[in-house]
Amino acid sequence: MKFLDLCKVYIRSGQGGKGCTSFRREKFIEYGGPDGGDGGRGGDVWAEAVDGLNTLIDFRYQQHFFAGNGVPGMGRQRTGADGDDIVLRVPVGTEILDEDEETVIADLTELGQRVMLAKGGNGGWGNLHFKTSTNQAPRRANPGQPGVERTIWLRLKLIADVGLLGLPNAGKSTFLAATSNARPKIADYPFTTLHPNLGVVGVDGKEFVVADIPGLIEGAHEGRGLGDLFLGHVERCAVLLHLVDGTSGTLLEDWQTIITEIEAYGEGLADKPRVTVLNKIDALDDEERAFLKEELEATTGGKVMLMSGAAGEGVTEVLRALRGYIDENRLREAPEEDTTWRP
């Protein structure tokens, strides 16, 4: 299944049914009077956050959603049936934007959350409503109100507790594959992940969700490479895990590139807690590890942890450090079979 996190959708609520102009005509009933019923109301368009979805791929194949129209009223004071509602089923974490792609209509961050996007038109009154003492045989009825037609954008921001940041080949996918059941592509040649991956990580009996974000490159905020297309997926994270490739010859420049890009992106990403990790230390000896860690700490002004996702060295310590930044309400109990990562 392909990953899709932005799509354009056209919606239209149902039109109300028109009222009926009718008169009671029965044998032996003189002056029966008006008995036209009201039209049914048009259906609404709703959006609902449901479980089991993590992409908007369904909206790639259907972009138009129309609710049912109300049925016109009928004689004998019969009201027309209401039109059927239509529900757009979206993943948890979906933002609904107006056509300008800036105005947020709704942000569905909880399972089962619903929002009305377009209200159906009311049904028209039948001529029964217009009967008065001076107008006992009205020959008028109201038409139904038209539905609402609009264009909206759906933008998915994955719900994760930890966001993985780093240049391509910093070891993000390897870390995710080593600590969870996620299976992102890993190979022994340079390439970058093309779409985000989610993995559930366990440590000390608790679980949290980690999102592997495709690698940024210099100038991403200006549209280079994949640009900052996927950075929105870490806006909801409690903490960022910044992996720096220890085998790179430009260690400090690599770290600064990521910091520059998240600062240029804005949305408060630069202010989120960050755990900086020197990765791939299995390829370094003790002297190189100490030297590079000291250099990186001097540049970052904070603590730098050592880890090798491939060899499993230092992974538990990193997971515990991440857990410390996550609110207890966001953590989940690990299942009985214990999925906690072990080296």
Residue 280 marked ligand-binding: yes
CB 94 within 8 A of CB 49: yes
Average pLDDT over residues 116-135: 95
169 labeled binding residue: yes
Residue 277: strand pairing partners? 243, 305
In CATH, the architecture of 162-333 is 3-Layer(aba) Sandwich (3.40)
**CA dist 158 to 54, 136, 196, 304, Å?**
7, 62, 9, 27
How does residue 184 score in pLDDT terms, banded at 50, 70 and 90? low
Average pLDDT over residues 139-150: 95
3-state secondary structure the chain: CCCCCEEEEEEECCCCCCCCCCECCECCECCCCECCCCCCCCCCEEEEEECCCCCCCHHHHCCEEECCCCCCCECCCECCCCCCCEEEEEECCEEEECCCCCCEEEEECCCCCEEEEECCCCCCCCHHHHCCCCCCCCCCCCCCCCCCEEEEEEEECCCCCEEEECCCCCCHHHHHHHHCCCCCCCCCCCCCCCCCEEEEEEECCEEEEEEECCCCCCCHHHCCCCCCCCHHHHCCCCEEEEEEECCCCCHHHHHHHHHHHHHHHCCCHHHCCEEEEEECHHHCCHHHHHHHHHHHHHHHCCCEEECECCCCECHHHHHHHHHCCCCCCCCEECCCCCCCCCC
Every domain of the chain with CATH number 3.40.50.300 lies at 162-333
CA distances from 306 to 107, 131, 142, 208, 260 (A): 37, 84, 74, 21, 23
Q: What would the mean pLDDT of 259-271 be, rounded to a whole number?
A: 84
Burial degree of 323 (CB within 10 A; 0-12, 13-18, 19+): buried
14 marked ligand binding residue: no
Mean pLDDT of the chain: 86
180 annotated ligand binder: no
Band of the pLDDT at 1, cuts 50, 70, 90? Answer: very low
Does the annotation list 191 as a binding residue? Answer: yes
* Higher-pLDDT residue of 177, 189: 177
113 has a pLDDT exceeding 80: yes
Question: Would the annotation count 194 as a binding residue?
Answer: yes
Does 170 count as an annotated binding residue? yes
Confidence label for 66 from pLDDT (cuts 50, 70 and 90): very high
Confidence at residue 2, expressed as pLDDT on a 0 to 100 scale? 60
Architecture of domain 1-156: Distorted Sandwich (2.70)
* Selected residue with higher pLDDT from 330 and 223: 330
Confidence band, pLDDT 50/70/90 cuts, at residue 188: low
Q: With cut-offs at 50, 70 and 90, classify the pLDDT of residue 264.
A: confident
Any known ligand binding at 213? yes
282 appears as a binding residue in the annotation:
yes
The whole-number pLDDT of residue 220 equals: 58
326 assigned ligand-binding residue:
no
Residue 165 assigned to a binding site: no
Residue 138 annotated as binding site: no
Report how far residue 183's alpha carbon sits from residue 115's, in angstroms, rounded to the nearest whole number: 34
276-331 pLDDT per residue, tens: 999 999 888 889 999 999 999 998 888 999 998 888 888 999 999 999 888 887 77
Region 75-100: what's the mean pLDDT? 95
Judge whether 190 is annotated as a binding position: no
Is 197 flagged in the annotation as binding? no
Say whether 192 counts as a known binding-site residue: yes
CATH 2.70.210.12 in the chain is located at: 1-156
Is 90 exceeded by the pLDDT of residue 217?
no
Q: Is 166 annotated as a binding residue?
A: yes
CA distance linking residue 156 with residue 90, whole number of Å: 9
Please report which confidence band the pLDDT of residue 194 belongs to, taking 50, 70 and 90 as the band edges. low
Residue 190, pLDDT above cutoff 70: no
Q: Residue with structure tokens 């974490």?
A: 93
Q: Rg of the Cα trace of the chain? A: 29
pLDDT digits (tens, 9 = 90+) for 198-208: 788 888 888 88
Q: Is this model's pTM higher than 0.85 or not?
A: no
